[in-house]
Amino acid sequence: MDVLNLRPAPRPAHTEYCSNDALVRAVTGLDPLKNGRAWRAFQDAWQIDLVWVTNDGPVPWNERGRTTDMGHAVFLEGGRDKRPAAPCPFASVEDVWEFDAVEEYGLPDFDGLVSYYEQWHHEGQAANPEQVWPGGYYKTIVSGAIEAFGWDMLLSAAADQARFERVLDGFFRLSLHHYRAWAETSAEVFICHDDMVWSEGPFMHPEFYRAAIFPRYRALWDVLHRKGKRVLYCSDGDFTMFLRDLADAGADGFIFEPLVDLEAVVGDFGGTHVIVGSKVDCRTLTFGTPEGIQAQVDATLELCADCPGFVFAVGNHVPSNVPVENALFYFDYLSSHWHR
């Protein structure tokens, strides 16, 4: 919490997004597929300070209305997460332009939603006493549209900016209801997740983001700020060109992949914002050498030495195919060099 509040700390904070079961077994001796204590033991052993979690409410959207299942490629050990795509329930782009997320999915009872989020947060924090267990929402605006329509229909609909903004406003109004509920909880930190760009950057015109998306972020984050909460914005892809826009909208910090220019983040926001990421790339962990891993750790620690809000992370995940020996080297080297 010192780091998240930009107060002095003896080392950077640390988080990881890890789905490497073999690594957990190597570190803890526990099998995460069989032992419910394995991930907690791993987080403690790897000195994880912040757990990346979000919660969009008690009832999934696919139980309340139409969503598009685009399927899933093999990512987890043994390929247990692979599934084929299902047909899109939207027959035409006109169906998308007529869609209203609030009408489709409904607004849960507000007091019940507050109670649900508070209980979830309380139980999560109690079960992870050595970590910060934040609040958070995943399907904020663009990610909500991805969940509902899938990429093909989303991109077709986005070709008409005026109609698409009206569609996005439905996801905004749905999110606002949930953000207001989250604001009433005891969570001190909140993760706003919204995958609004690709690895190449924005997939819509930048000015559309500035007109249609970022003002809505500001409205969502104002709800949380009025209750004293810190807002960390998270997106996959490269949102370097939007860093100033996000800061102006009220983001207190950024969670990002190595695609985002760390020099730009530190240069403009190193003393004022929380920075969650690093130069360490999961592709280096997977295919590189200890020397390459060490070089990326060193470059990050040097660049972020004077950033009070720095949280070290492999920003694009530690997936199942990272060799255990490379992951072990990474953390051993990092933890022996991160003290200030």
Distance between CA atoms of 175 and 136, rounded to whole angstroms? 11
Q: What is the DSSP string of 192-253?
A: EE---SBTTB-SS-HHHIIIIIHHHHHHHHHHHHTTT-EEEEE-SS--GGGHHHHHHHT-SE
Q: For the CA atoms of 94, 96, 97, 102, what is the dihedral angle to 10 degrees?
A: 140
Residue 197 is predicted with a pLDDT of: 98
Closest by CA position to 313, among listed 260, 267, 250: 260
Of 200, 195, 165, the closest CA to residue 54 belongs to: 195
- The sign of the CA dihedral 280, 300, 130, 115 is negative
Return the SS3 of 23: helix
- Tell me which DSSP letter residue 266 carries: H
Distance of CA 241 to the CA centre of its chain: 18
CB–CB of 86/69 below 8 Å?
Answer: yes
d(CA 234, CA 250): 13
Tokens (6 digits) for 209: 């983001």
Residue 337, phi then psi, degrees to nearest 5: -125, 0
- DSSP secondary structure letter of residue 318: B
Amino acid at 192: C
Specify whether the CB–CB gap between 230 and 188 falls below 8 A.
yes
Distance between CA 19 and CA 319 in Å, rounded? Answer: 5
> Is the Cβ–Cβ distance between 290 and 326 less than 8 Å?
yes
How many angstroms separate the CA atoms of 143 and 115, rounded? 25
Longest dimension (CA), the chain: 57
| Tokens 């070290």, located at residue | 312
Low-confidence ranges of the chain (pLDDT < 70): none
Q: Is the pTM of this model over 0.85?
A: yes
Structure confidence at residue 75 (pLDDT)? 87
Residues 187-207: tens digit of each pLDDT: 999 999 999 999 999 999 999
Distance CA 293, CA 300 (A): 11
Residues 254, 269 contacting (CB under 8 angstroms): yes
CA dihedral 167, 137, 257, 267 (to 10 degrees): 90
> According to the model, what pLDDT value does residue 113 have?
98
What would the DSSP string read from start to end of 96-131? HHT--HHHHH----HHHHHHHHHHHHHHHHHH-TTS
55 vs 245: CA distance, rounded Å:
25
Residue 259 in tokens: 């695609």
Q: Which strands sit side by side in the sheet containing 189-193, from one edge to the other?
A: 13-14, 310-312, 274-277, 253-255, 230-234, 189-193, 135-137
